[in-house]
Structure 1
Amino acid sequence: MSDAYPTDRHVYDYVITDSKTERKFVETLDKSTEVCVYAKLPKAFSIPTPVGNYNPDWAIAFNQGTVKHVFFVAETKGSMSSLELKKIEAAKIDCARKFFARITSDNVKYDVVDSYERLMELVQ
C-alpha cells in the first residue's frame, strides 16, 4: 500500500496515485482550504472519443465563493508541453475539452494541469 496516500478531503480515506506528479498534486489538494472534496475518477468513468475512450484523473469541488469555477475535472500531466504528449493522448484531451465545454455551465471547467498552483490559476 505504498502508493496509497491518507486523505482528509478525498471521497475515500486513501487515494492511490499513479505518478509523482499525481502524488504531489494530491498532497497539496488535500491541504487546500479552497477544496471541499475531490475524487480520483475510476477507470470506468470514461468519455467516448473518436480515438478511444478517455478517462480524466480528478473531479474536484471547491468551497463556494472561494473560486470562479466551483467544480473542476482535471487531467494531471508531468509536462504541459503538447509536444511531449502522445498524439492519441493529445487528441483525447482535445475531445474532452470540447465535450466538457458543451455539457457544462460556467461553474464547471475541464483542463490539464501539472500542479495545484496551475489549477488555482485556472479557477480564480
Structure 2
Amino acid sequence: MKIKFKHQSFQQHAVQSIVDCFKGQPNEQSRFTLDKGKRQKYEQGKLDFEAGQELLDVGFRNHKIQLIEQDILANIQAVQRSNGLKQSERLEGKYNLTIEMETGTGKTYTYIRTMYELYQKYGWSKFIVVVPSIAIREGVLKSFQMTEDHFMNEYGTKARYFVYNSKQLHHIDKFASDAGINVMIINSQAFNSRGKDARRIYCTRKPPVRLGVQESL
C-alpha cells in the first residue's frame, strides 16, 4: 500500500517563503574539475589503484549566490513582513537562515519539497541534511524513500540520496559528479568529526557549495 500525500497550503507557503529569500538569483549551474587522483576500481569490496591513470571528471556544484547582501536582506524582510514576523536588521552570518515549524506539521516533507523548488528555480542541486542522531538519520532516510514516487510525479525527476559513510567514498564522487538533485544525509557527529576517515568529506578539490538543513526532534 502506497501512502498518498495531500497538498497542504501552509507547507507550500513555507516552501515559497524559502525560495523567495533568494529572489533574483539566476538559474545557473556551476561545473568544476573533479580530481579523483588515481583511477579507482571497486572490486569485491576492495579498492584497487591503476598506477599512472589519473582521473579527471566534471563535477557540479551549486552556483554561487549572485545577489548582493542588501538584496538578500530585502528579500528576507519581505518574507518576514508577509508572515507577520519581526524584520531582521542585518544578516546573521553568511546567509545563515533558520526556518521553524511546529512538531507534526511535516518539516521533513517541506524541506524535501524545498530542495526540488530550489533546483527548479535556481538550479541548486547539492544539499546536505545534518541530523543530531543516528535514529533521526534513519527516519529522514525513510522519509526520502516514502516520498520518492510522490515527488517524481510532482516534478518529473527523482533525488539521489544517501547516508554518508566514510568507508564508502564512491557515494561522494557520485554526489559531486551528478548534475541532478543530490542529497547527503549525515549525523552531526560525523559532520563535525576531525578523525582521519571522517575528514575525507572535505578532501574533494573545489567542493560543491552546500545548502544544509538541520533536522531536530
State the TM-score bracket (shorter-chain normalisation). Answer: 0.3 to 0.5
* Greater fraction helix: 2
